[in-house]
């Protein structure tokens, strides 16, 4: 089984692409636990909330891995939670960097239009760019392999598909 985490700033197509790959390729995905958490508890987050979100995501990921699909897409993981911690609170608790890592990360660039959905924070160009940079910084800090995904929606899908296929071919 190979795990692929879709990573990057908000409103860059990660969740939509997970759903498309499920339908087109049959690749299951683990939804973003933080979205459900924020819909239930609101978006006035504390560091304690981020740690709860990280653990909730870890439980969801572990549960999905029990099925042992050839490819499991993770709509997010704790490295993204680490980027949130840095962005919101200026620090990253070490436990956020200690969780298991995906086999490959797809880093989505913020080069598509922002769409508000009630749980998003960073829609202004400057904060969106800062959050995107912090997202990349967490991948570099963790030393994980990643591929940049950018361009139109069709280009994003083609790039992500090619990266996942290359990961599978190398196995």
Residue 128's pLDDT is what?
81
Residue 44's pLDDT is what?
85
- Alpha-carbon gap, residue 168 to 103, rounded angstroms: 10
What is the CATH superfamily name and number for domain 2-170? Answer: P-loop containing nucleotide triphosphate hydrolases (3.40.50.300)
pLDDT at residue 123 is higher than 60: no
- Alpha-carbon gap, residue 6 to 12, rounded angstroms: 10
Q: Classify each residue of 134-169 as buried b or exposed e, where b means 16 or more C-beta atoms within 10 Å of its C-beta.
A: bbbebbeebebebbebeeeeeebbebbbebbeebee
Residue 122 pLDDT class (50, 70, 90 cuts): low
Residue 77's pLDDT is what?
94
pLDDT digits (tens, 9 = 90+) for 65-104: 999 999 999 999 999 999 989 998 999 999 999 999 999 9
Q: Is 149 helix (H, G, I), strand (E, B) or coil?
A: strand
pLDDT at residue 119 is higher than 60: no
Least reliable range by pLDDT among 2-6, 121-125, 156-160: 121-125
Residue 20's pLDDT is what?
93
Domain positions in the chain are: 2-170
Tell me the whole-structure pTM to 2 decimals. 0.91
Matching residue, tokens 């239009």:
113
Backbone phi and psi for residue 65, each to the nearest 5 degrees, phi listed first:
-70, -20
Percent of the chain with pLDDT over 70: 92
Residue 10's pLDDT is what?
76
């Amino acid at each position: 089984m190979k795990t692929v985490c879709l990573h990057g700033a908000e409103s860059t197509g990660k969740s939509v692409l997970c759903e498309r790959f499920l339908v087109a390729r049959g690749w299951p995905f683990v939804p973003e636990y933080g979205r459900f958490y924020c819909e239930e508890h609101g978006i006035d987050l504390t560091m304690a909330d981020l740690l709860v979100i990280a653990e909730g995501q870890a439980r969801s990921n572990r549960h999905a891995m029990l099925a042992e699909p050839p490819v499991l897409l993770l709509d997010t993981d704790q490295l993204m939670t680490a980027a949130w911690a840095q962005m919101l609170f200026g620090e990253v608790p070490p436990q956020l960097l200690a969780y298991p890592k995906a086999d490959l990360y797809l880093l989505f660039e913020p080069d598509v239009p922002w769409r508000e959905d009630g749980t998003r924070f960073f829609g202004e160009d400057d904060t969106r760019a800062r959050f995107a940079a912090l997202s990349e910084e967490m991948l570099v800090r963790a030393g994980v392999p990643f591929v940049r995904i950018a361009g139109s929606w069709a280009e994003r899908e083609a790039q992500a598909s090619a990266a996942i296929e290359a990961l599978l071919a190398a196995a």
